[in-house]
Structure 1
Amino acid sequence: MAKATKKQALGRGLSALLKDPENDIQSATDKNADKVVGNIVELDVEAIEMNPFQPRSNFNDEALKELASSIRQLGVIQPITVRKLEFNKYQLVSGERRYRASRLVGLTTIPAYIRIANDQESLEMALVENIQRQDLDPIEIALSYQRLIDEIQLTQEQLSDRVGKKRSTITNYMRLLRLDPIIQTGMRDGFLSMGHGRALVNIEKKADQIALYEKIIGQNLSVRETERAVKAYHEGGTSEKPKPKNTKIPEFAEGNIKKFTDHLSVKVAISASEKGNGKITIPFHSKEEFQRIKKLILGE
């Protein structure tokens, strides 16, 4: 406990140093730079601006509230990383969720590591840090890889070293960007897995990609079934998958798919036989969406 208190006090001392105009540190060679760069400093939340290079665009509201609750109880355990812009002004490099959650609970200061970085270095740090996250969708990862190659001018081999991934893994992700934007959106929304996407990308014509994409959603095809459908497409020039018996949705069920989808605001799938037995599949992609659907169905 004493050790933690000492570190926090040190952070406040460095914070005061940074607010002194006579100690305006702009580079790693400036006086007192060694006392600040790489150390944990308590910074005013209002002195930090968002990172325009942030590759992450989706933040789950429910998860953010859970993090805010943890920060309210325990404080910010892992410091954010910022880069210095000018006197008492900083830009977020990594840790945007912690920063947002801290603002939610009304913190006025936040522990931070200070970096001296130019725009390119800041972009690279943000992209690499973002790729290491566990909850990214495949398209978001692919876009981050593409930006590192285009904007940082890295080769795939150099990128492999930077992010600690095999070159073949990077290639597989980036190939997903050849999918039609509608399919990419479907992957980001969780309707398709990366396995589905890797199969679909082997179809060159976007219209045929979309035709098979709609079949995957409508018939709830597995990855293996999708791979077989792609193989059949190349062998016979069609994306049609041989239909097993009773794959046609009866009129009584098909006529209600749109009603279910409109009411629940999610893509509902129905499979049924003429005898009347079948199932309704309702996808959800977060706790929040599950609760919303539950309320619509059960009224709770």
Structure 2
Amino acid sequence: MSEDVSKKRLGRGLAALIGEIDQPSAAQAKPSVSADRLVPIEHVSRNPRNPRRSFDTADLEDLSRSIRQHGIVQPIMVRGAGADRFEIIAGERRWRAAQMAGLVEIPVIVRDVDDKTALEIAIVENVQRSDLNALEEAQGYEQLIAQYDYTQNDLGEVIGKSRSHVANSLRLLKLPEEVRAMLAEGALSAGHARAIVSTSDPVALAKLIVRDGLSVRDAERLAQKDAEKANSSRDLETKSAGSTETKDADTVALEKSLTDFLGLKVQLAHKGQGGQMRIEYKSLEQLDELCRLLGEKN
């Protein structure tokens, strides 16, 4: 599938994305897709690139009972993987439940798509169904960016989310492994994790949040206190180093002008012909808006 065709799909949502793949292109002399059919379940395998890793056993058992009574209502989307072999594009949960139900054959829709498109569909379907935990979602986004040079803007259009949603999801991958495990297990919510990702000790705060059952707002307050403490420590270090520089009127005026423009506190520190500019933000939303104002491309 060409890059132009892939780009045209951006922003059209799950229904359009899968709907386009369900239909052969008008420019093709022959349909490149197979008719719906039944295939032996052992001829179908999971997609190792599927971003979803966690499948709740109780949920699978419920679906398995339903499949025993009513069969698989929605066919599993697959692509060819050799002679009479198929790899799942979307529907691994149904495939797993069908195995539990003892089905010998399953209904499939065979589509001729490349690795990139298969991954797109898997991520979009899971995100729209809210089947991915926050960490799996972030890892799926990272995979598309790393392997297929997506920008955050393109990803947002593909999945029907804002660029800030994508950016905030990717920040979760910066968390320590112990906190990521809490997130994957559901002990910590994505809102909690986003609040503490930039703190000095995310592990300690995560344990405190879980232990005391704190809300996301409580977590944000803890993060704010952590930031204020860090700022105070830096100020003390500066004073102890003997920095008593008095800023001239032009520097003060420039700081005010930049602060008014950005809506964030700006401080300038001259050092010879160079210097440093410090911009303070109090939330990830403020950081995202700053990146937009500065013309961030990714």
Q: Which of 93, 97, 105 is the equivalent residue of 1:97?
A: 93
User: How far off its partner does 1:76 sit?
Assistant: 0.7
Gap change, CA 1:213 and 1:189, over 3 Å in 2: same
Does residue 215 of the first structure (1) align with residue 215 of the second (2)? no
1-side partners of 2:207 and 2:95: how far apart? Answer: 39
Gap change, CA 1:135 and 1:46, over 3 Å in 2: closer
Q: For residue 167 of structure 1, what is the amino acid of its counterpart?
A: R
* Equivalent residue, structure 2, for 1:186: 182
User: How far off its partner does 1:65 sit?
Assistant: 0.9
Does residue 147 of the first structure (1) align with residue 140 of the second (2)? no
1-side partners of 2:83 and 2:39: how far apart? Answer: 12
Partners of 2:123 and 2:137 within 8 A in 1: no
User: How far off its partner does 1:92 sit?
Assistant: 1.1
* Equivalent residue, structure 1, for 2:60: 64
| TM-score, length basis structure 2 | 0.64
| Aligned positions of 1:127-276 closer than 5 A | 127-203=123-199, 205=200, 208-237=201-230
| TM-score, length basis structure 1 | 0.63
Partners of 2:78 and 2:90 within 8 A in 1: yes
User: How far off its partner does 1:59 sit?
Assistant: 0.8
2-side partners of 1:126 and 1:184: how far apart? Answer: 22
Q: For residue 141 of structure 2, what is the amino acid of its counterpart?
A: Y
CA RMSD, Structure 1 to Structure 2 (Å): 2.5
Partners of 1:124 and 1:152 within 8 A in 2: no
2-side partners of 1:202 and 1:215: how far apart? Answer: 16
Does residue 116 of the first structure (1) align with residue 112 of the second (2)? yes
User: How far off its partner does 1:33 sit?
Assistant: 5.9
Q: For residue 197 of structure 1, what is the amino acid of its counterpart?
A: A
Partners of 2:51 and 2:137 within 8 A in 1: no
Q: For residue 148 of structure 1, what is the amino acid of its counterpart?
A: L
Question: How many residues get paired?
Answer: 207
Gap change, CA 1:64 and 1:32, over 3 Å in 2: farther
1-side partners of 2:125 and 2:131: how far apart? Answer: 13
1-side partners of 2:126 and 2:217: how far apart? Answer: 30
Equivalent position SS for 2:54: coil
Flag as ranges the 4+ runs of structure 1 deviating above 6 A: none
CA offsets per residue over residues 19-65 of structure 1, 9 Å max, x none? xxxxxxxx99xx9963x715311112122122121221111111111
Equivalent position SS for 2:116: helix
User: How far off its partner does 1:193 sit?
Assistant: 1.6
Gap change, CA 1:71 and 1:33, over 3 Å in 2: farther
Q: For residue 134 of structure 1, what is the amino acid of its counterpart?
A: S
Q: For residue 101 of structure 1, what is the amino acid of its counterpart?
A: A
User: How far off its partner does 1:152 sit?
Assistant: 2.2
CA offsets per residue over residues 258-299 of structure 1, 9 Å max, x none? xxxxxxxxxxxxxxxxxxxxxxxxxxxxxxxxxxxxxxxxxx
1-side partners of 2:58 and 2:147: how far apart? Answer: 33
2-side partners of 1:136 and 1:51: how far apart? Answer: 15
Equivalent position SS for 1:53: coil
Unaligned 5+ residue runs, structure 1?
1-26, 239-300
| Aligned positions of 1:34-113 closer than 5 A | 34=31, 37=33, 39-113=35-109
Equivalent position SS for 1:81: strand
Equivalent position SS for 1:131: helix
Structure number with greater CO (CA < 8 Å, separation at least 6) is: 2
